[in-house]
Structure 1
Amino acid sequence: MTSHHRWHRPAVLATATLAALSLSSGIASAGPGGWVPSPGSDGAGDSYYPQDGNGGYDVADYNLKVDYAPDTHQLTGLQTISARATQSLSSFDLDLRGLTVDSVKVNGRTAQFSRTGDHELVIKPSFPLLRGLPFQAVVAYHGVPASIHDPALGANGWQFAKSGGAFAAGEPKSATTWYPVNDTPRDKATFHLAITVPDEWGVIANGRETGSRKTANGTTHQWVETTPVAPYMTTVAIDKWTFDRQKRKDGTPIVSAFAPGTPDSTKQAEARLPEILDFLESKFGRYPVDAAGGIFLAEPIGFSLETLSRPIYSGRAGNVDTIVHENAHQWYGDTVAVDHWKDVCLNECFASYATWLWDEAKNGVDLDAQYLDQVKRASTSFWNGKLYDMGPGNEFTYVYSKGPMALHALSKYMGQAAFDRVLKTWNTVHHNGNASMQEFQHYAEQVSHRDLQGFFDAWIYGNGKPAEQYLYPGDLKPAA
């Protein structure tokens, strides 16, 4: 887990004076993380996507102002990033794909910048940034956003709707297609968005609505997400929405948006969201986000996505099971995010198992019988599917099918009471942080007072059909 200390809207620093004092003090230490300024890393070091994200700083808040013209697809943005240097920086990188950068300022002074690779924006401040101190970077940019093609999932990032609107959705990459960002799940930040569109268009995004106002260019819509969010979980969607607004019993706002042509069956499924969140709370603990809802597209894109507080749904996925799955991610995947992408089972295995738990509670499904039937029907290729360190591009495969089976077997192996306690407290232990599969294993061992290495080797870290002691633990018995 990586713990971040947050700074809110830091003041502009007298960087030149501080830099001079530091460099003349005689106590400077060389090397990364020391006091001598050096370039921040151009990648965050993920084992699958090492160039995604950057090093040398920690973002506290993104404050993004965007003008978007649906008729031309032109986006004009002004991004203000509040961050803290984790090393003394002579330069640092942000991630941005394709769009044209017009200017950069750091702590109020014009900064040099250059572009390298397919998404690196390299920024050199007028004066070095000192380790441990907050700084602010402001990037003005414009252009027509372009999506990223994923061989398995299709288009990711900024995408255009047939209605003429647009939306942002993608995993593991998305945010870089529409704003400058430190694109790693390990650097979460709060997110302020003010987006101006022509008056006839509606906007929905993460978090809470904080107002709208008329401008010369249309209407500016303001949304604020105060729960620290991983960049790929941020979203905005522009269309001629039908909105549904309600509240949970505790006052949490629920805002859902339906694209033109959304079937009544989808709206009826989303109407059950308060019931779904109540159920998930009973299994996973208190709802960990400050808002809720859903964004229901007309487009049948290749996935639905757990964008924080307000999942975004493919036009062909407006059903209760998908709504349960994506909202379970608010606990597993969003407020507790992966440490590295090889840990993605911590997201998808658990959200998939949430639909099993829902079917048991609401539809009377016998989970033991379901599990045993799936064991009986499983193929060799199924057992060889990996749930951990499955390789880049293979993250979103067996985690949806083999993953919930592994968790059901784990509930029997470690004992139901201990398993239920782990499910309900995991988010509290790692709330707003990141976690690895090894940390989950160790926590499950701590709660159950059992050595679970053999089980995790059989189901999670290895592949092949698990030995019978792990395949049929507890009161699970092989199907006749």
Structure 2
Amino acid sequence: MRRLLAPPLAALALCVLTGPAPASAADGGAGLGDPYFPTDGNSGYDVAHYDVRIDYDPARPDHLSGDTTITARALTDLGRFHLDLTGFDVSSVTVDGRNARAVRREGEHELVITPARELRKGDDFSVRVRYSGRPVGEGWRPMVDGGVAVSGEPHSASTWYPANDHPSDKATFRLTATVPDGWSAVGNGRPGPVTGDGAGHRTFRWYEDRPLTTYTSMVAVDRFTVRTSALPDGTPVVNAYSPDALIDPDAEALQEDILGFLASRFGPYPFSSAGAVVLSGASGTGPVDLETQSRPTYDGGLFDVAMVHEIAHQWYGDSVSFTDWRDGCVAECVATYAQWLWYEHQGDDLDRDYYRATVQEHRADPAFWSVPLYDPGPGRELDSALYARGPLMLHALRRTVGDTTFFDLLRTWPARHRYGNASWPEFEALAAELSHRDLRGFFSAWAHGRQIPPDRYLYPAGLSGLSRQGRG
């Protein structure tokens, strides 16, 4: 296996410590204060760009070499700062080209860096971390043919590169991945040039030019078949298939139809590339469908329901990401309702066949209504309630405010918060703003409550006929 360039001898003298850190007057702190994952991320800086370089050989699945440079801006004076990195041996860390004065490990994923000079508030700086070793943690999916896919929610990024691993800190992303001849590496964004070293290795380059949140970053290494096309506006579409994945030209055409359909509901597609990574043979790791930015990951093949959900996330979850992990509904509830919209587009009756049928099935089931959709609780950030009740709430909202206002809401949200972050309470406020209605009672019952909503919210005026039928 070709290795990354060895660090200079001076860097090898890096002091990697363990245990409590010395006191510092300026420390970004271990974590951004997320209510569910309080040690994720760091509040002391804002990342602008990740430049991630990895070297991976499927013949050595227990080893990865990495060389990542992070460009950021200090939000406060920093005598030291934290990155999230799970596992690996760190061989060198430099800040603005100078060896870090100290580097230490704390907890499961904290890499605490003391730069040679204190960073001042407003300083732009870069930190370069070189590391290697056995990958551990969430997100690593070995393939039975020897390949690997690395993605996952809520955590996966820190298992292959150092990061400010929280959805609230978004950054552009460049991936450079070197693998043996015969293998390919796929990442987010537009593909760059592929080069060989003449010694049995090829290097693949990918660049995501719109800010991404770390859990939507990905890399997959396999013996991919890559098929390319373009959307009518020229946006490149790159689909990569594992050896045993289903390649279906009709499904690829449907993928483009779905992109167009969702653009008609949510506004222009937000990224400069599109496509998919279709995996097969994951080694006992469960489903792999995930909204990895600009190139969702799928299990086995391209199927309409999965595509609608993950592509909807390109607007809801990726372009507009939530503020913290309490806000999962703003991504998952909407992406699941997008599936309902697709069914409606195919001619289904949502009122009768989806809303009424589901409410009637669960009307006498308290457990179905017991988890709030906003702030469901630690360990429940992606609770099944978001997928089961989320579309019910949105359909009731649609019937409450009317189609014109509702679809204006679905388009305004990704336009107003494009490439940024926003919370579920902000979604509620936007719905009230656009509808010119007091919706506090509606959202209190649907998004914050722990029991079936009262009939005035369960069967609003637009569903009043269902109320009479539903009580029989």
The reply to whether TM is greater than 0.5 is: yes
Tell me, yes or no, if the aligned pair for 1:37 and 1:87 is still in contact at 8 Å: no
**Matched residue, 1:141:** 131
**Matched residue, 2:329:** 345
In structure 2, C-alpha distance between the alignment counterparts of 1:98 and 1:470, rounded to whole Å: 49
Tell me, yes or no, if the aligned pair for 1:270 and 1:323 is still in contact at 8 Å: no
Aligned counterparts, 1:276-355, within 5 A: 276-299=258-281, 301-315=286-300, 318-355=302-339
Runs of 4+ in 1 over 6 A off after TM superposition: none
Which of 386, 396, 401 pairs up with 1:414? Answer: 401
TM-score, scaled relative to structure 1: 0.88
In structure 1, C-alpha distance between the alignment counterparts of 2:76 and 2:247, rounded to whole Å: 54
In structure 1, C-alpha distance between the alignment counterparts of 2:253 and 2:53, rounded to whole Å: 32
Deviation digits for residues 130-155 of structure 1 (CA, Å, limit 9, x no counterpart): 1011001010000121232xxxxxxx
Q: Alignment length, in residue pairs?
A: 434
The structural deviation recorded for 1:217 is 5.3
Report the secondary structure of 1:221's partner residue.
strand
Aligned counterparts, 1:235-314, within 5 A: 235-264=218-247, 268-299=250-281, 301-314=286-299
Q: Which amino acid aligns with 1:461?
A: H
Aligned counterparts, 1:120-131, within 5 A: 120-131=110-121
Tell me, yes or no, if the aligned pair for 2:29 and 2:44 is still in contact at 8 Å: yes
The structural deviation recorded for 1:474 is 2.0
Deviation digits for residues 286-308 of structure 1 (CA, Å, limit 9, x no counterpart): 11111110111103523411000
TM-score, scaled relative to structure 2: 0.90
Which of 338, 342, 350 pairs up with 1:358? Answer: 342
Tell me, yes or no, if the aligned pair for 2:334 and 2:391 is still in contact at 8 Å: yes
**Matched residue, 2:27:** 39
Work out whether 1:92 is the aligned partner of 2:81. yes
Unaligned 5+ segments in structure 1 are 1-35, 149-156
In structure 1, C-alpha distance between the alignment counterparts of 2:414 and 2:279, rounded to whole Å: 29
The structural deviation recorded for 1:37 is 5.4
In structure 2, C-alpha distance between the alignment counterparts of 1:333 and 1:252, rounded to whole Å: 20
Q: Which amino acid aligns with 2:221?
A: I
Deviation digits for residues 388-438 of structure 1 (CA, Å, limit 9, x no counterpart): 111122222111111001000000112221111000111011111111111
Worse-matched range after superposition: 389-398 or 273-282:
389-398
Which of 449, 453, 464 pairs up with 2:440? Answer: 453
**Matched residue, 2:159:** 177
**Matched residue, 2:456:** 469
Unaligned 5+ segments in structure 2 are 1-23
Calculate the aligned-residue CA RMSD, in Å. Answer: 1.3
In structure 2, C-alpha distance between the alignment counterparts of 1:207 and 1:465, rounded to whole Å: 42
Q: Which amino acid aligns with 1:143?
A: G
In structure 2, C-alpha distance between the alignment counterparts of 1:364 and 1:101, rounded to whole Å: 56
The structural deviation recorded for 1:204 is 1.1
The structural deviation recorded for 1:386 is 2.2
In structure 1, C-alpha distance between the alignment counterparts of 2:78 and 2:379, rounded to whole Å: 33
The structural deviation recorded for 1:337 is 0.6
**Matched residue, 1:231:** 214
Work out whether 1:162 is the aligned partner of 2:148. no
**Matched residue, 1:192:** 174
The structural deviation recorded for 1:382 is 1.0
In structure 2, C-alpha distance between the alignment counterparts of 1:163 and 1:146, rounded to whole Å: 20
The structural deviation recorded for 1:261 is 1.3
In structure 1, C-alpha distance between the alignment counterparts of 2:225 and 2:165, rounded to whole Å: 32
Deviation digits for residues 187-208 of structure 1 (CA, Å, limit 9, x no counterpart): 0000011100001101111000
Which of 186, 196, 203 pairs up with 1:214? Answer: 196
Q: Which amino acid aligns with 1:247?
A: A
Report the secondary structure of 2:31's partner residue.
coil
In structure 2, C-alpha distance between the alignment counterparts of 1:450 and 1:175, rounded to whole Å: 41
Tell me, yes or no, if the aligned pair for 1:298 and 1:314 is still in contact at 8 Å: yes
Report the secondary structure of 1:334's partner residue.
coil
Which of 45, 51, 59 pairs up with 1:71? Answer: 59
In structure 2, C-alpha distance between the alignment counterparts of 1:314 and 1:263, rounded to whole Å: 10
In structure 2, C-alpha distance between the alignment counterparts of 1:224 and 1:374, rounded to whole Å: 42
**Matched residue, 1:18:** none
Q: Which amino acid aligns with 2:87?
A: G
Tell me, yes or no, if the aligned pair for 2:241 and 2:247 is still in contact at 8 Å: no
Which of 102, 126, 136 pairs up with 2:91? Answer: 102
The structural deviation recorded for 1:69 is 1.1
Tell me, yes or no, if the aligned pair for 2:317 and 2:330 is still in contact at 8 Å: yes
In structure 2, C-alpha distance between the alignment counterparts of 1:432 and 1:175, rounded to whole Å: 19
**Matched residue, 2:361:** 377
**Matched residue, 1:388:** 374
In structure 1, C-alpha distance between the alignment counterparts of 2:192 and 2:403, rounded to whole Å: 43
Change (3 A) 1:393 1:271: farther
Worse-matched range after superposition: 392-401 or 168-177:
392-401
In structure 1, C-alpha distance between the alignment counterparts of 2:306 and 2:212, rounded to whole Å: 21
In structure 1, C-alpha distance between the alignment counterparts of 2:215 and 2:441, rounded to whole Å: 34
Report the secondary structure of 1:475's partner residue.
helix
The structural deviation recorded for 1:176 is 0.5
In structure 1, C-alpha distance between the alignment counterparts of 2:340 and 2:359, rounded to whole Å: 15
Worse-matched range after superposition: 93-102 or 391-400:
391-400
Tell me, yes or no, if the aligned pair for 1:196 and 1:217 is still in contact at 8 Å: no
In structure 1, C-alpha distance between the alignment counterparts of 2:75 and 2:359, rounded to whole Å: 49
Report the secondary structure of 2:193's partner residue.
strand
**Matched residue, 2:16:** none
In structure 1, C-alpha distance between the alignment counterparts of 2:167 and 2:241, rounded to whole Å: 28
In structure 1, C-alpha distance between the alignment counterparts of 2:247 and 2:210, rounded to whole Å: 31
Which of 41, 44, 55 pairs up with 1:53? Answer: 41
